[in-house]
């Protein structure tokens, strides 16, 4: 079994076997870029190791053999006291998991070879700096000695020698540090091995094992990465960025991953090893400065970047080292980017002719698009600036300050919004970033861990704000004279790099020109119409701005909740006779008409689906217990009242509350979700729907007379029985006709949300012009899941146990609910070939669900206003992905 591939033997398509890093190094080697020699141990070897705890048969022999070959290429010998070969042992999984797994540098140094290295490079300080790094890294990663021991020792040495930074330490102090480090390891009952091959073996083992460390597991779970991929291990000849001022190490993106701008973006540190950049311990310099400082290497970087971008047809994230002026590429991979950059890059690549329209559309992950609609700090608002830093990930985040990831998780589980504030972040902090509204760090640059992770997650982040002084013990930070305690609220503006005290007003941005263009392309390829769920004229306006082609669901119940309307509604509900009810409803008629007028004006030329009253009537009344409480309190007051007049007033009040209470009790239900609501109420109290239909058509006539194009669609909720829709049609169409007098073309349809409705869709379809799938309720009834109860009590457990793969209230359940939708579509079209079919549940704004709607051939999806752009993109991607199906 071949477990080892030299870089010359691999290529970019061998990620599964060689990991992303190995495949990248191979590919770069083969296209002639400057890469240090090396080889990769396959993920297959890792898988065996994970299963058995041992190297697979023959692996070690292959390692030894490959080291010989590497020695030849390098012209150095591993463990040689004169001319020692040093190697890095690097992790690299098939899927990028940046910073999650371990890497050991400088393997091959020991008490003897360090001297050879010093002599050979004529740089004793460098040699001992490299040695102390190896011991530190090996101690922490391979021997599991807690890292803080080394950091504390380093701090003491720095104090002792009065050095501000690591690089200020001289050779003597570094030699001392080597001994101190060795002692730390000994004190932990371990031994730093002097044998270079022992170092190599243990490092490989440690990298294999790092596949299963806690943070890697969390990251995989968070990113849906399979557990069984394993990591490859690349053994690469060391090149050194810490050999003096003409040496450097850095990372670069071929374009700006935050804005998408076409400029080299990145940072470097001279006289440093790679870990120094990523860890954010020293604040690195912007890449542009490199042009002056080490021009030769910079030109090589620019040239390599161009080649790589063209070669990979994507923006690359590059790691490089400059050793004494010579440029080496150590890694290339597809660059993580935020949604804004993703959109711009995709559009630019399209313009540059690198990719075609369809590939451009497929390049942007729909779920990330709503980052673009993240709230931004309102520029005109009054605010208290308390710090500035690097604008690492755009958007405004507001929340309570927390200083560690665990606290972030606990508070956010309680529904609190938090901002994670850390000196710098590490892989261990990822779960805290995931739940935070934003991140603030006092150290690190634009490619620091915090910056990269926040951008990938679309979280606002300000990093490297050095004026922020964090006191982890006191759990406060200070800046510009302000002291901010844990749980104080701050606002992090990742777009400008500003930090404000308190919650600053935010506003949602409109579509950027790039996004507008991008979505225009999406509109060209998608087959699904896109409508919005909008309950207010404001929402309708936003929806139009975001590209909605109509309203797929306007709920009318909220219109009854206004302070001027609720009392009328309550009086209507408590009416004893139809006449009384009609009287109250007549008062609501004008108000409803005005509501609809607004909708129709905004949606000029587009259809507007208005759903008649849906919730149970008791939702408009006070709660049972509340009323009993009120009545008891009034009775107490009665006892204490002194005048007859006072008593009379109280008694009257008691009687009124009692009257409401009795209505509430009569309407009380065991299972209101599946009780007296929707069209059931409309059938038993015909005058409610009659008023609503009158208001809809009356409003339509009015707006039409203003010269606008009005397309109302009247939607009946919760229909499951042919008789329901037949009776309502018989009652309501004459009223619509009476108001319309032939002037308005309207549609009459039903929301399909009861399983039975889908099963008898052929019969229902005969009475309607459209179906709109109400997948929220359809999911509840198909699963027999009361959403409130299920999500509160056992949904998480179900996901954890794998009973369900996804929460069906978020991602449409294709197998069950989707099956019903298919049945409904087929039967529905059988009953009425011209039936319009759409979806208005929350799923209408979720990419996977939208794809399903495309597959089964709905006419449109309807999503909440802020999800309209996502829906446009998801619909386009579905159309591209299922192109063949459509041609059938």
Is 750 a binding residue for a second copy by CB under 8 A? The answer is no
Nearer of residues 423 and 816 to a second copy, judged by Cβ: 816
Residues touching a second copy: how many (CB under 8 A)? 49
Question: Given 374, 431, 449, 843, which residue is catalytic?
Answer: 449
Q: Known catalytic residue: 311?
A: no
Nearer of residues 572 and 701 to a second copy, judged by Cβ: 572
Q: How many CB atoms lie within 10 A of CB 73?
A: 16
Is 676 a binding residue for a second copy by CB under 8 A? The answer is yes
Is 856 a binding residue for a second copy by CB under 8 A? The answer is no
CA distance 23 to 247: 26
Helix and strand numbers (H, E) in the chain are 35, 33
Both structure tokens of 221: 């779970």
Q: Known catalytic residue: 840?
A: yes
Is 782 a binding residue for a second copy by CB under 8 A? The answer is yes
State the minimum distance, in angstroms, from the CB of residue 351 to a second copy: 47
Is 817 a binding residue for a second copy by CB under 8 A? The answer is yes
Nearer of residues 207 and 573 to a second copy, judged by Cβ: 573
Is 776 a binding residue for a second copy by CB under 8 A? The answer is no
Instruction: Candidates 297-305, 316-324, 544-552, 773-781: pick the segment binding a second copy (CB under 8 A).
Output: 773-781
Out of 24, 38, 366, 755, the residue judged to bind a second copy by CB under 8 A:
755
Is 821 a binding residue for a second copy by CB under 8 A? The answer is no
Cβ atoms of residues 511 and 339 within 8 Å? no
Is 846 a binding residue for a second copy by CB under 8 A? The answer is no
Nearer of residues 248 and 758 to a second copy, judged by Cβ: 758
Is 737 a binding residue for a second copy by CB under 8 A? The answer is no
Instruction: Candidates 165-173, 349-357, 561-569, 775-783: pick the segment binding a second copy (CB under 8 A).
Output: 775-783
Q: What strands, in cross-sheet order, belong to the sheet with 285-286?
A: 285-286, 265-270, 248-253, 316-323, 326-334
Task: Name residue 285's beta-bridge partners.
Answer: 268
Nearer of residues 373 and 667 to a second copy, judged by Cβ: 667
The secondary structure of 180-223 as a DSSP string is HHHHHHHHTT------HHHHHHHHHHHHHHHTTSHHHHHHHHHT
Is 759 a binding residue for a second copy by CB under 8 A? The answer is yes
Both structure tokens of 488: 């104080």
Is 786 a binding residue for a second copy by CB under 8 A? The answer is yes
Is 804 a binding residue for a second copy by CB under 8 A? The answer is yes
Cα(first)–Cα(last) distance of the chain, in Å?
A: 45
Backbone angles phi, psi at 439, to 5 degrees: -130, 140
Is 50 a binding residue for a second copy by CB under 8 A? The answer is no
Out of 425, 780, 849, 864, the residue judged to bind a second copy by CB under 8 A:
780
Question: Given 679, 840, 843, 853, which residue is catalytic?
Answer: 840
Is 727 a binding residue for a second copy by CB under 8 A? The answer is yes
Cβ atoms of residues 121 and 242 within 8 Å? no
State the minimum distance, in angstroms, from the CB of residue 795 to a second copy: 10
Cβ atoms of residues 188 and 143 within 8 Å? yes
Nearer of residues 497 and 616 to a second copy, judged by Cβ: 616
State the minimum distance, in angstroms, from the CB of residue 159 to a second copy: 50
Is 633 a binding residue for a second copy by CB under 8 A? The answer is no
State the minimum distance, in angstroms, from the CB of residue 755 to a second copy: 4
> Which candidate, 190, 209, 227, 215, places its Cα nearest to that of 53?
209
Burial degree of 601 (CB within 10 A; 0-12, 13-18, 19+): middle
CA distance 790 to 794: 6
CA distance 125 to 111: 14
Out of 189, 742, 802, 833, the residue judged to bind a second copy by CB under 8 A:
802
Is 690 a binding residue for a second copy by CB under 8 A? The answer is no
Is 845 a binding residue for a second copy by CB under 8 A? The answer is no
Out of 430, 718, 853, 875, the residue judged to bind a second copy by CB under 8 A:
718
Residues 6+ apart with CB under 8 A from 189: none
Is 684 a binding residue for a second copy by CB under 8 A? The answer is yes
Is 803 a binding residue for a second copy by CB under 8 A? The answer is yes
The secondary structure of 718-785 as a DSSP string is S--SHHHHHHHHHHHHHHHHHHHTT----EEEEEE-SHHHHHTHHHHHTT-SEEEE-HHHHHHHHHT-
In whole angstroms, how large is the CA radius of gyration of the chain?
Answer: 33
* Site residues for a second copy per CB under 8 A: 669-676, 680, 683-684, 718, 720-721, 723-724, 727, 753-756, 759-760, 763, 777, 780-786, 788-790, 793-794, 797-798, 801-804, 813, 815-817, 819-820
The residues annotated as belonging to the active site are: 449, 840
């Amino acid at each position: 079994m071949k477990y080892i591939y030299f870089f010359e033997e691999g290529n970019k398509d061998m990620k599964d076997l060689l990991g992303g890093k190995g495949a990248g190094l191979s590919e770069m080697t083969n296209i002639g870029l400057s890469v240090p020699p090396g080889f990769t141990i396959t993920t297959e070897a890792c898988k065996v190791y994970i299963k058995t705890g041992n190297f697979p048969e023959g692996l070690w022999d292959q390692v030894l053999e490959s080291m010989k070959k590497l020695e030849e290429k390098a012209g150095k010998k591993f463990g040689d006291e004169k001319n020692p070969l040093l190697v890095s042992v690097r992790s690299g999984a098939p899927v990028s998991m940046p910073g999650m797994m371990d890497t050991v540098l400088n393997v091959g140094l020991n008490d003897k070879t360090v001297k050879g290295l010093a002599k050979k490079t004529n740089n004793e300080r460098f040699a001992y700096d490299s040695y102390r790094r190896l011991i530190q890294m090996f101690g922490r990663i391979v021997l599991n000695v807690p890292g803080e021991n080394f950091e504390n020792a380093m701090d003491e040495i720095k104090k002792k020698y009065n050095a501000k930074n690591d690089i200020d330490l001289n050779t003597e102090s570094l030699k001392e540090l080597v001994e101190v480090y060795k002692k730390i390891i000994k004190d932990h009952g371990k031994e730093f091995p002097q044998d270079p091959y022992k170092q190599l073996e243990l490092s490989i083992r440690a990298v294999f094992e790092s596949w299963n460390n806690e943070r890697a597991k969390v990251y995989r779970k968070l990113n849906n990465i399979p557990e069984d991929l394993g990591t490859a291990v690349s053994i690469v000849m060391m090149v050194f960025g810490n050999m003096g001022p003409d040496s450097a190490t850095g990372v670069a993106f071929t374009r700006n991953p935050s804005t998408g701008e076409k400029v080299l973006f990145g940072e470097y540190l001279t006289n440093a090893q790679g870990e120094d950049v990523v860890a954010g311990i020293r604040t690195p310099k912007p890449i542009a400065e490199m042009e002056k400082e080490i021009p030769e290497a910079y030109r090589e970087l620019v040239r390599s970047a161009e080649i790589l971008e063209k070669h990979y047809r994507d923006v690359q994230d590059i790691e490089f080292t400059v050793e004494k002026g010579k440029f080496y590429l150590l890694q290339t991979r597809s660059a993580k980017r935020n949604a804004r950059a993703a959109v711009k890059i995709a559009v630019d690549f399209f313009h540059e002719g690198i990719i075609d329209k369809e590939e451009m559309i497929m390049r942007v992950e729909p779920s990330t698009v709503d980052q673009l609609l993240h709230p931004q700090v309102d520029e005109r608002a009054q605010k208290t600036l308390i710090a500035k830093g690097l604008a690492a990930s755009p958007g405004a985040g507001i929340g309570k300050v927390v200083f560690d990831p665990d606290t972030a998780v606990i508070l956010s589980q309680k529904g609190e919004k938090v901002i994670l504030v850390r000196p710098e972040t590490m892989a261990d902090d990822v779960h805290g970033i995931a739940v935070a509204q934003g991140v603030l760090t006092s150290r690190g640059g634009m490619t620091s861990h915090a910056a990269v992770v926040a951008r990938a997650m679309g979280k606002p982040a300000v990093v490297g704000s050095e004026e922020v002084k964090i006191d982890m013990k006191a759990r406060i930070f200070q800046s510009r004279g302000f002291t901010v305690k844990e749980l104080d609220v701050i606002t992090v503006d990742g777009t400008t790099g500003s930090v404000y005290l308190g919650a600053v007003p935010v506003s949602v941005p409109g579509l950027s020109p790039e996004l507008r263009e991008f979505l225009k392309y999406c509109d060209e390829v998608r087959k699904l119409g896109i409508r919005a769920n909008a309950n207010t004229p404001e929402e309708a306006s936003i929806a139009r701005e975001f590209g909605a082609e109509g309203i797929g669901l306007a709920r009318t119940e909220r219109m009854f909740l206004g302070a001027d309307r609720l009392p009328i509604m309550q009086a209507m509900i408590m009416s004893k006779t139809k006449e009384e009810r009609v009287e109250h409803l007549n008062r609501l008629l004008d108000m409803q008409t005005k509501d609809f007028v607004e909708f129709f004006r905004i949606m000029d030329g587009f259809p507007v689906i208005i759903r008649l009253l849906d919730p149970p009537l008791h939702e408009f009344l006070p709660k049972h217990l509340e009323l009993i409480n009120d009545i008891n309190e009034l009775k107490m007051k009665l006892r204490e009242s002194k005048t007859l007049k006072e008593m009379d007033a109280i008694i009257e009040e008691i009687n009124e509350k009692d009257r409401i209470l009795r209505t509430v009790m009569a309407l009380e239900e065991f299972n209101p979700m599946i009780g007296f609501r929707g069209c059931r109420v409309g059938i038993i109290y015909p005058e409610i729907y009659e008023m609503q239909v009158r208001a809809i058509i009356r409003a339509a006539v009015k707006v039409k007379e203003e010269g606008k194009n009005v397309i109302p669609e009247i939607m009946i909720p919760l229909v499951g029985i042919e008789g329901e829709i037949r009776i309502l049609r018989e009652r309501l169409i004459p009223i619509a006709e009476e108001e319309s007098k032939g002037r308005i073309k309207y549609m009459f349809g039903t929301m399909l949300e009861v399983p039975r409705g889908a099963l008898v869709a052929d019969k229902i379809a005969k009475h309607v012009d459209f179906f709109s799938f109400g997948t929220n309720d359809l999911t509840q009834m198909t699963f027999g899941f009361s959403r409130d109860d299920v999500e509160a009590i056992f949904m998480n457990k179900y996901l954890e146990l794998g009973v369900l793969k996804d929460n069906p209230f978020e991602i449409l359940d294709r197998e069950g609910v989707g099956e019903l939708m298919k049945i409904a579509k087929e039967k529905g079209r059988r009953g009425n070939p011209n039936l319009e079919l759409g979806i208005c549940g929350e799923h209408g704004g979720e990419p996977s669900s939208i794809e399903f709607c495309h597959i089964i051939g709905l006419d449109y999806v309807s999503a909440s206003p802020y999800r309209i752009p996502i829906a446009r993109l998801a619909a386009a991607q579905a159309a591209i992905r299922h192109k063949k199906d459509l041609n059938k």
